[in-house]
Amino acid sequence: MHALAIPTTRSLAVISTGETVYRQNELPGAILTRIAGSHIRVGTFEYASLHEDQAITQALLDYLIDRHFPTIKDKENQPLALLEAVIDQQTNLITHWMRVGFIHGVMNTDNMALSGETIDYGPCAFMDVFSPDTVFSSIDHKGRYAYANQPHIAQWNLARLAESLLPLMHDKREDAIDMAENSLNTFEKVYKAKWLVMMGAKLGLSANSHEDETLVGDLLDWMHKNEADYTNTFRALSQDELPGDELYATESFHAWHARWQARLREEELESSIALRKSVNPSVIPRNHKVEEALQAGEEGDLEPFRKLLQALEKPYEDGDHLKPYQSPPKPEEK
């Protein structure tokens, strides 16, 4: 995620404990030590507010502002200003996730860091075939945390943050609720605007026109219908020439491609290609390759792990060494 230029917590060290952990089978125990701008989450504020002591929530608020949002210190209503700043922060983060097809898997309030970093990697993965309802958590039977639902869950989490801050926003609860709702209601508009700019960039468009949303939507519909690989399709659109795959020879793709090419005539060609290559990775940590590295590691062979990390270090570059990591999984590898 760091190499993809997405805000994230980082792994500092993995320490073997010498103990056995019992899951589906016996596994060697270890502790992952991670670092972040801070480990304050939406859930931290929920926990503080449960004490029903405004001084505790106020102290947490002051600390968070000092640490991450010093520019709002001069605001008259700091709790409201914080909510608005976090809305902007989290819409940026979710837009990045959607850009690369990342699915967090368990976006509960304790997994939303107010440092604006991706945190608590659990049943997460990157999408292969483009499908908005893709999930990776074995317990997410109804798709609450599916790829397409991530913006909605982020907004839901921020509503819980707002609830925790209500006593600090205004002495009258009704007025505080109105303030919070007005801010929360901007989330969808803010996110959609950022999403459209991001998707435009994936198609090499430096500025959005009125027709671009339809152009983007039609491509995603085509990808979904034809079970196209999310990462490889956008990377293919970043090259000088399209691959010779049958998928790109279809009449439906040709029709869309002609519209896209007409739109690209409004852009400077080299800048457009550079923009596409800067936001469309050529390689992602695909689940089947991660599993391959994990299984080898359990058997004492860390070479697949090291090679996988090496391939992921510069994900926006091309190279023959990346080819083993670019293919979608075969049916038996899913």
R_g of the chain computed on alpha carbons: 22
3-state secondary structure of 158: helix
Quote the CA–CA distance of 252 and 219 in Å, as a whole number: 10
* Residue at token pair 């020439």: 241
* Residue with the two structure tokens 């994936």: 202
Q: State both tokens at 106.
A: 């368990």
Could you list the active site residues? 110
94 touches 117 (CB < 8 A): no
State the Cα–Cα distance between residues 68 and 101, nearest whole angstrom. 27
The interaxial angle of helices 187-202 and 212-225, nearest 10 deg, is 70
Residue with tokens 């219908």: 225
CA distance 104 to 97: 8
28: Cβ contacts below 8 Å, ≥ 6 apart? 16, 19, 20, 21, 298
Nearest to 102 by CA among 126, 86, 130: 126
Task: Copy the structure tokens of residue 60.
Answer: 């947490």
> Which letter, b or e, does each residue of 92-106 get, where b requires 16 or more Cβ atoms within 10 Å of its Cβ?
bbbbbbbbbbbbbbb
Are 85 and 72 in contact, with CB atoms under 8 Å apart?
A: yes
